[in-house]
Each structure stands twice: as structure tokens, then as C-alpha cells.
Structure 1
């Protein structure tokens, strides 16, 4: 009984997790609004219930399930890295060595630092040595500056439409930060850890990289914060202050204002890493961001340090690799005339690339294969496409500098049609598409000093990316750059803002100020004349970007939550190590808990009730555990028939199952059969192979708990049926299936409507159902259980057939007629 108690506890937690998962799927489908706080609450609840699963499994099965909590924690940690922190961590830890970062909250050290630590310590990939200066240090410094009132004012100004006051307040705050000394405790710690890093690596220069709490999570913040390379000890404190001050720069404040974010999203942690003397560097996209269905990786590479590539200030080589064998499918070698190099006295500077190298490919096939393998390892770990920055040092060692989730845009199944008359007048062709779409408007050329003509809006043409003009993306119908990279931060922002963008091409000299043009940022062309509305190229109105990003974020989170990979418990791969999602963990825990309860009871040969199975002609194995059977010395396993069950609720339920018999495949009009639908579910007959998963029933004279497995869905039914109606109840949980999410959801809706007509209170979330009925008279309770048995058979495999709402209504009415259930 004690073990059964733990089993019931696990089952309750399991059902609660399934309900939360179904709720998240419902929100991701766009059926209900939500905010980030609700996602954080759901994640917290999942963590709590997962803890119960782990504790219960350990009680039931001992140390063989010791890895279960660890696997759950690993998945939860990935989820936390993807979800923006709501507030800074309250820890007082100021600095953490990279070797310990993996153990800490991303709200303390920022997601960028946490991911880099994961690459090093979990995946064993080469990353630079270093440490994290925490958000607690940032908070301490701001308190030391005495700027709490200014921060409150800044937050209030973020809610206003006008940017002028906001940017003025930000400028005043930056001035205070840059002029204020660090608290002595922070200054001493920062210098001490810097000296230890230099002693370990033998390199005097360090890289200071922002790792803000909101960075690379809901939105990318690509290129918004400052990064400083080859920083000497003498400049360390000033450069650290400058990174902190960048949290209140015009481009960051404009970004926060545009996306309705809070100042807390800019709470700043900073990474301090050993400087990499890069021979070459670049970016790997593990998917093509403009066509993510292609099975390719896209590699961008240039000589020298990486910021020249992500800043888009130099032209870079591009390589397209297959994802399976890393075969080089496309190579575009750019003319690389400049590179970024460290300066002996500190800092970096551009220098000319030798003439003999300017048209030379940066990377060869062997390095590309190694880089591709490394990038896909990172993608598999985080469960989504990656935007990974890398470098090869002067000794030939390949290192990962950082990684973030890659934002991709689905390629249209059909490109918009171009009028033949328009297509004949091509001003620019052969351009590289950095952000897709169509747009039209007058050409506005950037003037020296990053100045646009007053009030100008239209197709903005500039030499190279300029991140210090945060209003440019708002004013641009499209962007055309003479130089740059698809992997630049500017290109990332253009895709995020849904602004069409082209790089390079032949005929750019035709784009003179004021000329009216149409930009085709699918085919890499610019045409004469206004042939489209000025805003047609944007894939989503700018005011919807944040809402869209929230839904996309939730869908990304669900990759680690909802998919079910563990199907057959008898396969060798049904292990904790193969649990890729929280749903996998619930599946594993539920299946193994049931087996532990019954296996332990079966090992007790003095208990007849532990050696019973139900004798039936149906291809369904049901093992029985009686809570009220007397002890016996029998060691022989035996089966009993339905007439020997001696359990009121079980007899009633099984009577309904037996009455309907085992179903064949469901074939409504126009339906091509189950085999064509999923290719894995077979209908059963009297001679059919029994399902590999057993069903289990714990019962007594008036109690029943049954875990009923019928292929790809499971049903758990708990009931008590006595002469005292106040003690009687029936509870049902129903989840999963073998068809698509939409069809499974239709089956749940069908079941809920049928059960509600019988008096059940039903809670449905996507493809999960929880139904309960209490205070039921004895005869009614028996009858309802009989009907429930029939219903379980009548709806088996039904999700495969529910191709539309009309089909679902037909089956609902047919089942109601068979069951003789009325409203």
C-alpha cells in the first residue's frame, strides 16, 4: 500500500504536467493570449511536478532511476536559457569563473555566458577561458552611482510614445555611469580575476562581451550592446563601465521602446574572456535563415577578428554545406581587402589584406567539415537551429566564441508574380538576399556621417551597416547595402523587423537619390518604378513583432516540452538518456512506475493477488493487483475470467469493453485508412498480436484504478462504487494518440461533449482530457462505468479518422446514438 501511495502521487504529478503541456500547446496554436510571466509560471510548475516524479520513481525503483532528476534538470535548464529572465537574480555573487557558470542561474550571468559554459563543460567544445561579471555586480554598481530615481524615470518614459525624452534621460544616465568609480569590492574582484585569467592563459588582452538578461532570448538584441576586444588591464575598468553604459544607449532604448520591453531586460552581466588571436573567423548558421527547410548549413568566413563579419564592415566568403556529409554545395569567395587585427598596445584596428590573399578562400573542405560537425552538435543539444560565432587562431585551433538561437523565416511556397513589363526594366541584379520581401519607394542614399535626408522614408541605400541609427529600420521600406554579410547583426535585425534587405549586386550605380524603385528581395533584384505599395515587403506589421515573437518563442520552447519520442517501452531505446523532452520524461516515469508497482508485488510469491492476469480474447493484456485479497502460499501465476473479478467498478467497466469488442481500423468516407495516415498502427482481431504495453488494474470490491493502454494513447480511470453515493466517483484522464495534433484535439473535444452529456465536469487542453463525476448513486455509477468501457473502444484509433470538424460531428452523433445518450 505504501508503494501504491507513491504511485498515486506520481500519477497526479504526471497528469498535472500533461495538463500544463496541453495548455502550452493550445497557446502556441494561437487559441489563447498569454504573456511571458505565464510561461515562467508554467515552467516553475513543471519543475515542481517533475521533482515529484523523480522522488516517486526513486522510492519505487531505487538507484536505477538516479539519472531521472538530472535529465529533467538538464532539459529545464535549456528552457530557462531560452526564456528571458523577468528580474535580476538576487544573489550577491559578483564574479564567477567559467568553470562554475554552468551551475548558476542565467538571470545572474546572462544567457550568452551560460550557453558558452554549457558548450565547454557539457559538450566539451573548445571555448576561450574566462569569467562572468554578474548582474549582481551591475546592480551593486548602479546602487553605488545612486541612480535609482533615474532608472524609475527611464522605465516610465519607455511607456510614452515620444522617444526624445527617453533618449535624453538615457544620455544623462550614461554620463553618470561612465564618470562613476566602481565600488572598491567590485574593482578589486574584477582586477584579481583578470590577473588570474592572464596568468592561466599567458595572454594580456581580454575580450569584454555583453550578456544582458534579455539578450538572445525573446528578441535577439543583435549588435545592440557594446563588445570590446584586446582590452588591457589599464583599460579594463573603463571598458567594463562602457559595456554597462551601453544598456542605456540610443539604439538599446529605441529597441526596448519599439518592443515594449522593460529596463530590466537590459540588466547587464559581462563576460571577460581570453583574447583569441584569430587567423580567421566567422559565423555558422545551422539552417538557411531564408529557407530553413533546406538541409544545409551556411558558413560565413573572413580573415582576422570576427567583429568585422558580424558588424558587416567587410565582405566575407560564403559556403553552403550539406547537413549530412558536410559536402560543399556552393562557394562564393569575396574580395577581402581589409581585416581586423589586435594592436600591441591594446584595442584593434583595420589593416589591408595582402594582395595574394584577397581572392583566396578562407576555409578548405576539411575545416568546413569539422566546423559543420561542431555546429550540429550544438544544435542537437539546444534543440533548435543555431547562429554560432567561431574563430581559428594563429595556431590552427578552432574555437566557439558564442551561440544563439537562429531566427528563421519560412520561404513562401509561391513567390509573388512579377509583371513581365516590370521585369524588363532591371536596375540591379545578382544581389544577395539578407532579408526577404518586396518593397517600393524612392531611393534615399545615406550621406556622409550616417545622415539621411530630412524626413526621408523609402529604399535606403548605404555603403555598409550602421547600427548607431536605430530609426533606420523604422523608416526603411527596404535596405540595400553595397557591402556587408548575411551573417551580420544588421541582417539579423532586418529579418527580425521584417524589412527586405539586399547586399551587393550589379548596377548599384543606378540607384540615385529620389529614383522610384521596386525591390524584389526574393530574386535579388531592383526594378524601375513603383509597382508595389511601400509597405508590402514587410512580412508582419511592426506593431505585431513582439506578439509574433512571443508565439515563436513558445513554439521554440515546446520543442523541449511537447514532442513524444519514447513510444515502445519494450525497445532498448526506452531509457532516461533518450528522454529529449519533458513529455518523454512523463511517459518514462508513468510506464516505469506502473511496472515497478506490479513487478514488486509479483516478486512477493505469498500474495495471490500479485500473480493474476485477466483472461480475455481481446488483444489486450491486463494485470491485476487486489488490495483486499487474503494471503496465500500459491506461487503459480494464473489468470481469471471476467466473471471472477469480484470488483464492482472493474466488472462494470470491462463489461462495456467486452460488449463492443476489439475495433478494426476506422474508414470514414474519403479516408484512405490508418496505414496511409501513420504507417504504424494496426487494427486488432481475435488472433492479432497483443500490444506490447500491458494495462494494469489495482482494484478491490468497490475500488478501481486502471491504466489502460491501447496503442498510442493512454487512459487512466479511477472509480469507487459503493452503496453510499457520497463516496462514489469516477475520474478519467485521456492523452495522446497516433495522428496529428489537430486530429487528437478533435477526439478530445468529441469525448468531452459525450461525457458532459452524462454529467461529467470536463477540462480539456488541446489533446488532454480530465473528466470527473462525483456523488453518484450506486446503479448509475455502474451504468456509467459500463458506458465508459464502451466509449473507450468506440474512440480507439478514432483520431486517425477526424480529418475535419464535420467528420468529428458525424462520429459524435453516431456514438451518442449507439450509447443511447441524450442531452
Structure 2
């Protein structure tokens, strides 16, 4: 969290160092003692605001590019807008935190823009509000926007295909909207969701708990409750029911597998309470992570609920009409357990598995019969309970071959009807009657590597050695990363991006890892589990059923997971950057919706505010998201210039001086960056600095050979037929030489102006490599465009040689490094210290590309004074 709070945005000191007309504000930098905490608070709010500013502009650029390329769809635009509106809310909040809530009116402006934009993108209206319940006997696929995907698909099976399903009814989207509206929940929930982002673990958990409390403490409107009880009575007041989610959008391209609650064995008198539990599960912790990872807006998944007569299952399981682990082999896969089917989809126990040959009408070509020691059965009081499976049934197949044949035939009928492979949940009751409980499209994708003609398995084989060879494929693909064992829940919150998650069993909590993990390896699991479904949906390789997993990976740092073959290799191979093919291209969808998209975007990207004067701008002048971005950013910059004028009295920033470096450092210590004995000194020496990143940078700046004044010589004789030597005076001039530094014990934000160029270094350097990063920016210069460009290339190539990711935009170089150890981060900061001293006015000295190559080579060889 520290790294997030301090390190992810641009520098406050970039503003103080001369954003406006290159003015130098150093003499005005006063830090009033009584307002120190206010300064810190403003600083952190400004940092967060700049981060949100960049996120918004980047998202707008992506949307505009997709519109230009004619590849965007309404659904994709809604996902982008979910991110934009959520980020804009936090963006505005940061400005109000800086200004004592002077700009609260912007929230109303944003809400107005959001309502207008989403109204343009809305689909046709739902059914009349008085109809809250629909019996399953009347539901078909055309009702999907009223009943959600699960109910619509099940109704299609019953009413069009005449397949056996339980009796039941849908509590429709109209009921959900009525429930939320009558209880005043929409605004409350929206305000809790708006600030959330993927990396705000604690905030997501707290928001989830509060929303669930709000829903469970609300009352189901009388008219809805009457219709629920009336439909239930038609089935039987003495019956028990399962109450399951059927949100709009669920079981489609985004499966939401395992994210929402199903309440089993519910008596009639508890149906309304179970209904609220399912609605509340829309805001469960893992469901919120899932939605954030896929940028799905809350309003796009209204929660319909499916109520079905409870099946007293002897056996249950899942049928995949196409094996997602081997989609090219033309196989189906069926899993089965004793009792209720929950354990078959959540991975609690390994099910029996049958591989069926689609080319020969479902012939069994392989079977794995497991030891099924426990089962879930209906409890007489309510819900379900776990009981031991009788000893002589534990290793028996939970289904007969005749039942497998029936299930396969049903699967073929369903697949043919929906024209896509299916993920089917089924049960067999105590009388041997097969019942279909659910059917949805199966996420079975092909893996390919456009940059590498070799297969993923061949690529993985170039790793050092096979550690595990007997794993099963749950989700295809190949990936490498450091091994990370998950033994406790808190390990999920600490999971490092790009690691391979290793766990004993499947858990829906691991949905939190889908935007972080490169691969999943599970000791006990099922290819038909909800976790496997979500992994395939996100394109995350997943291997299951690996015995003694921890022992086999003990002491192994990095692995390559080849989920195609079920093998895990020691080490990393750079040739496994496989990608997952999109399931289906949306043909002509852009052309069909282009007018709607362009109309909606007028509320987003158009800029009405050509100039901004705080006194002249009112809420009526701000009518687009782009207007909000422009207004908030400029007002925030003006606020930061007021820091030194919080009070007329105060102590100036501490000045650091050194005979080794002819620069004036103005130091602001926010937390532990200066030793206690020196906190009230006007002037500091480096011995007073306890900030580890600052000390590392300083070591580089005073490295032998690094010269901060004197001439720079160039000798091109070894590079071309023409020899020349030029000298450029590069001392620190009266036009620059001032450095502004904000530090803590583990953080530095440094802004330096030398003559005509500016450098910014922003870094966190602590014990946990997960939080460590360096952001380096360099731009400007006194030479012409070509000279500045050649120096930019010099800096780019040097930083890349030290492991940075570097990009150039004009004469601006942006170099980043993430996830290094404390020691490595310090080493890179030392290098940047040397680079600051060595790169001064090289824009005038580097006259050709050959000269640039020579300077790069000299620096990397330690020739920091660039002598021949």
C-alpha cells in the first residue's frame, strides 16, 4: 500500500520546479510547521490525482483508437466507460481532498454525464414493472434480458427442446430493479463502488461487506413477495427449492462461474431471505474482483434469480461437450460424484472423469474412478450437509454407462441447438431420472503464438528440466514465473504480479488472481470446476491433480508451466509468450452500432473548455468527461503552487550542500528520510540523510569519474574517417543547478533542473520487492531537435542495458523498473545518479548516431568522463 500511496504518479516537484513558464519557485517553498500534515495530505492527494489523470487520458486514447479502427462494440465501450466513470469519481475526490471540498459540484456534473451517456447505450426497456415473476414453462431464449442467461437457457431446454429440467420460476430483472429502487440502494451502492480499483484489496472487501449488509437489512416489496409465494405454491408449499443467480450477462462471454451464491434446499417461508442472499452475492468480494478485472459495469448485470424445485440427487456432475483441455481431439468430458453437485464444481473432491469420443457417438475412451469419501445430501431442517459415502460406494462409479449415454445424447442436442460447445450441469435423482440443471456456452479456446511457429509444448521443452510430468490440463496455455505458494487467505492479497500460483485445492477466492497470476497449479482439482472455467475465460494456464506438489516444487524459484501437456519445467523460457485466441469475432457489430457509439462519445471526449479561469467556469460549462479532466488537472496544479503561502511564517525546506556536487538540494522529509538529530537543521550533509534510495542515488552522483563541471570531449577518430574533438562547457550554470527532493526512509521523488533540461526520479525501495519500482523521466535541452533526440536515444539505450523498460516521445525519455529486490533497486539508482552527471548537455556533444553509440559504450564500460 505504501508504494501505491507514494509512488504511482508524477512528481509534485515537477510542478514546483517550473511547470509555468519555466519559473523557479524554490525560494517560495515554505513548509509551515503548523501545516506540515496538511502539506502531506495535499501532496498524497495530488499524487493520486495525477495517477488518475494519466489513467483517464490513456483510456480515452484507447477508445478513440478502437473507434478509428472500427473495432469497438457497444459492450466493449460500456466496459471502458465503467473504468472511466469509476476513475473520474476518484479523480474528483482527490481534488476535493486538496481543496477542502470546494468542488463538490463536479460529482453532480459527472453523474449527469454518466446518466446521459448510458441512456444512449441502453438496450430496449424491460417488461412492465408489475410483472416480477415468470414461470419457467413460459421462458425461452428471447427472454434473456428479463430473466438472465441461466433461466433463459433452461427455459429453452424445457420449452423448445423438451429436455427434462426442474419446475420453477424466474424472479425477473424488473423485480431486482424494484427491490433496489424501493429500498434506495442504487445511490448508496454506487458511491461504495465508485472508488474501487483492482489493487484496492482492503477497500473492495469493506465495500462488499457494507453492500451485503445494506441488501440483507432491506425488505422485499410486498408485491414481489406475493408473486414469489404464489408461484411457489403452484409447485407445492411443502416442497424445497434451490435459489440461484441468473444475472443478465451471466453464463455468456463472461461466465461469472462460481461468483454468485446458490442457496439450496430452501423452504417456502425462507424464499425471500434466500432471494436477498443471492442479490447480495452480486457484490461478494470475489464477484467484485471478477467484474473489476473485466471492466464490467454494475448496471450491465442486473440480478434476476432462478427458483427451482430441489432435486434430491443421487449423483451429479458436469458435462463438457468439448474437452477444453484438448479441443482439437474431438472429445467430450463428463465428471460425476455422489450426492449434490456442488463438490463437482468447486473442486472440493476429485470427481470421476470420463473422456468420450465425439467421432463414435460418445464411446468411453478413458475413465478415472476416484475415491469419493464424502457427499452432500439434503438436510431435513434446511440446506445441505456433508456425510461420509458408504465404504463400498466410494470407489464405485457414480453413474452407469447407460446414464452416461443419456447425458451425452442430451449434450449433443443442446450443443446443436445453441451451435456452440456446452458446459452442462446435471443431476440424477433417487429414481434414476436425469435432470438438466444448467447449460451455458463453454470457454474452450485454441492457443497460438504468432511470434513463434513452434508449439507451446516445444517452446516449454527448452527450459532446463521436467519437474512434474503427470499434471492434468484444466486450462490450456504456457507461462513462466516465480513460484508462489498460497497456504493462507492473506497470501492472495500479497500475490506478486506474474507469479505462478501454487495451491493445495481449488477455491473461488483465487478469482482475485486472474489479473495477476501467470499460471495456476492445483494439487487437487477438476477440469469441470468453476475455477477452471474462469481460468479458461481469462486465458490463464492451469494444471491440476499433481501429487505431492509442495515437495516437488520445494526450493524451485522459477518454473515454466506447460498446461497443454500437464508438465512443469524448472526455469524460465522466453519463448512461451503464447496468447489466447478470441472466441468469436463480432461480425459487423461496429457498423450496426457506429452511430450510437459516436453519439455517446460526444459526452466523453469532446473538449469545450479551451481556457480555464476558475472564476469564470461554472457547472454549466463542464459537459463532458474531457472537460472534467482538463478542469480538475489545471485547478490542482494551481493549488500546489499555493503550498508556500499557507502562512506567512514558517521554516524553509532544509538545504543539502556538498563540495562534490555543485547543486543546491532542497529537501522535504515526509517520514524518516532525515535522522532525528538533524530534523531542525537549516543545512544538511549527506550524513544526515537516512533515506536509502536518496543515499543510493547520491553514491552514483559522486562516483569517481562523474564530472558535474568542466568540458566534455568527443573523439570520433575511432568511429569514422573524419576526426574531430569538440568541447562544450557543461558546468552547472546560473540557469539551473537546483534540485527539489521529497523523501521518506524508503522513498525519493527528485526533480532537477540543469540549464535547459529536466530530470525526475521517483522510486520506492524497501524490503518487499513487490512494492519496489523506479520511474525516471528526462527531457529538454539547449540543442536542436536532432541533438536532443540523439541524447534521448543515449539515455534510452543505457537504461535498457540496466533492465529498465524505456520509451521515447520526442526528447522525453520515460524509463521504468518494477519488482526488483532492495539491493538491485539501489544499484539501479546508483546508475541513475551517474547518468544524471554524465548526460548534461550531451545534446550538444553527440553530433552523430555513431557518436551516440560511442557514448553508450563508454558509459557501460565505466568511462564516465568520456575520455579516450
Q: TM-score range by the shorter chain?
A: 0.5 to 0.7
How far apart are the structure 2 equivalents of 1:450 and 1:165? 15
**Alpha carbons of structure 1 residues 37 and 358: separation in structure 2 relative to 1, 3 Å:** closer
Aligned to 1:125: 163
Within the candidate set 471, 486, 491, 1:446 is matched to: 486
Counterpart in 2 of 1:713? none
Please tell me whether residue 380 in structure 1 is matched to residue 421 in structure 2: no
Higher mean displacement: 505-514 or 480-489? 505-514
Q: 1:438 to 1:206 in 2, by over 3 A?
A: same
Find the aligned partners of 2:130 and 2:254 in 1 and give their Cα distance: 27
Distance 2:460 2:544 in 1: 24
| Deviation of the 1:538 alpha carbon | 5.8
Residue 341 of structure 2 corresponds to which residue in structure 1? 306
1:330 to 353, 359, 366: 366
Q: Distance in 2 between matches of 1:477 and 1:84?
A: 36
Q: Distance in 2 between matches of 1:450 and 1:162?
A: 14
Which of the numbers 467, 472, 483 marks the counterpart of 1:432? Answer: 472
Name the counterpart of 2:391: 355
Residue 406 (1) aligns with residue 438 (2): no
The corresponding residue for 2:558 is 516
Higher relative contact order (CA 8 A, sep 6+): 2
Q: Paired residue for 1:568?
A: none
Judging changes above 3 Å, is the alpha-carbon distance between structure 1 residues 421 and 187 closer, same or farther for their aligned structure 2 residues?
Answer: closer
Residue in 2 that maps onto 1:472: 513
1:237 matched to which residue of 2?
272
Q: Which residue of 1 aligns with 2:221?
A: 183
Distance 1:526 1:85 in 2: 47
1:157 positional shift: 3.7
Q: Indicate yes or no: 2:527 matched with 1:486.
A: yes
The question of 1:554 aligning with 2:586 is answered yes
Task: Return the offset for 1:89.
Answer: 4.9
> Judging changes above 3 Å, is the alpha-carbon distance between structure 1 residues 219 and 553 closer, same or farther for their aligned structure 2 residues?
farther
Residue 623 (structure 1) aligns with: none
Deviation at 1:162, TM superposition (A): 5.0
Q: Quick one: distance in 2 between partners of 1:251 and 1:288?
A: 26
Compared with structure 1, are the counterparts of its residues 428 and 452 closer, same or farther at alpha carbon in structure 2 (3 Å cutoff)? same
**Shift of the alpha carbon at 1:440?**
2.5
Relative to structure 1, the CA distance from residue 296 to residue 555 in structure 2 (aligned partners, 3 Å threshold; closer, same or farther) is farther
> What are the superposed Cα offsets for residues 539-560 of structure 1, whole Å, 9 maximum, x if unpaired?
25xxxxxxx76x72636999xx
Give unpaired runs (5+ residues) of structure 2: 1-65, 79-120, 449-453, 591-868
What is aligned with 1:667?
none
How does 1:36-75 map onto structure 2 within 5 Å?
36=74
1:108 aligned residue (131, 146, 151) = 146
- How far apart, CA to CA, are the structure 2 residues paired with 1:227 and 1:251? 15
Q: Deviations 1:681-712 (Å, cap 9, x if unpaired)?
A: xxxxxxxxxxxxxxxxxxxxxxxxxxxxxxxx
1:501 maps to 2:542: yes
User: What's the counterpart of residue 323 of structure 2?
Assistant: 288
Equivalent residue runs for 1:317-716 within 5 Å: 317-323=352-358, 324-412=360-448, 414-417=455-458, 422=463, 425-449=465-489, 451-452=491-492, 454-457=494-497, 458-508=499-549, 509-512=551-554, 515-528=557-570, 530-532=571-573, 536=576, 539-540=579-580, 552=584, 554=586
Secondary structure of the residue aligned to 1:305 is: coil
CA distance 1:150–1:114, shift in 2 (3 Å): same
Counterpart CA distance in 2 for 1:363 and 1:312 is 19
Cα pair 1:207 1:230 within 8 Å, conserved = yes
Give the corresponding residue for 2:283.
Answer: 248
1:341 positional shift: 1.3
Q: Report deviation, 1:84.
A: 11
Report the CA distance between 1:441 and its aligned residue: 2.8
Alpha carbons of structure 1 residues 294 and 91: separation in structure 2 relative to 1, 3 Å:
farther
After superposition, the Cα gap between the structure-2 partners of 1:308 and 1:556, relative to the gap in structure 1 and judged at 3 Å, is farther
**Structure 1 residues 468, 211: CA separation in 2 closer, same or farther (over 3 Å shift)?**
same
Q: Kindly report which structure 2 residues correspond to 1:719-734, keeping only aligned pairs within 5 A, or say none.
A: none
Question: What is the aligned length?
Answer: 475
Indicate if the aligned counterparts of 1:302 and 1:309 stay in contact, CA closer than 8 A. yes
Q: Give the 3 Å change call, closer, same or farther, for CA 552–167 of structure 1 in structure 2.
A: farther
Q: Distance in 1 between matches of 2:394 and 2:404?
A: 19
In structure 2, do the counterparts of structure 1 residues 363 and 85 end up closer, same or farther at CA, with 3 Å as the change threshold? farther
Shift of 1:176: 0.8
Cα deviation, residue 198, structure 1: 2.1
Query: Normalized against structure 2, the TM-score is what?
Result: 0.51
Matching residue of 1:225: 260
> What residue number does 1:53 align with?
none
Aligned residue for 2:657?
none
- CA distance in 1: counterparts of 2:295 and 2:126, whole angstroms: 18
**Could you tell me how far 1:361 is from its partner in structure 2?**
1.9
Deviation at residue 297 of structure 1 after TM alignment? 1.4
Checking the alignment, whether the CA contact within 8 Å between 1:444 and 1:452 is kept in structure 2 is no
Identify if the C-alpha distance between structure 1 residues 421 and 221 changes in structure 2 by more than 3 Å, giving closer, same or farther. closer
Whole-Å separation in 2 of the counterparts to 1:505 and 1:531: 20
Counterpart of 1:619 in structure 2 is none
- Contact in 1 for aligned 2:266/2:383 (Cα 8 Å): yes
Q: Which segments of 5 or more consecutive residues in structure 1 lack a partner in the other structure?
A: 1-27, 41-82, 541-547, 559-823
SS at structure 2 position matched to 1:248: coil
